[in-house]
Structure 1
Amino acid sequence: MYRIVLGAAIGYVLGSRAGRERYEQIKRWSRRAADHPAVQGAAGVVNAQISSGLKKKFKR
């Protein structure tokens, strides 16, 4: 999930420097990548691991 956010931020900066058309291309690519089933599955696994870790940390 962290990598997706980082990639979106990098895409934003590069797109803004390259002009509006290039920015729109990068934005479309990043949305397609974020919607890919493999990315969604990985995000689900990471989310479950984080939730599990938080439950263990705050368990009394």
Structure 2
Amino acid sequence: MASFWDSYKEFWSERFSFLSNYSNAIQRDRPLHPWTDSDVDQFIALDPVHGPAVMILSLYLSVYM
């Protein structure tokens, strides 16, 4: 008979099975390189949806940090 813990793990592993799609991004051999200011500026220029929010955040961080 399976213990409570085994059934609990099975229950949640079924619900979070989509995370296996992201395992190559989460469990990396080498970490990603940090973004430079030019990388951020390029992202702001290229992304019409999230670019303005990143621009406001980067301005906020440059003033208050």
* TM-score when normalising by structure 1: 0.38
* TM-score when normalising by structure 2: 0.36
Higher fraction of helix: 1
Higher relative contact order (CA 8 A, sep 6+): 1
Q: Which has the larger radius of gyration?
A: 2
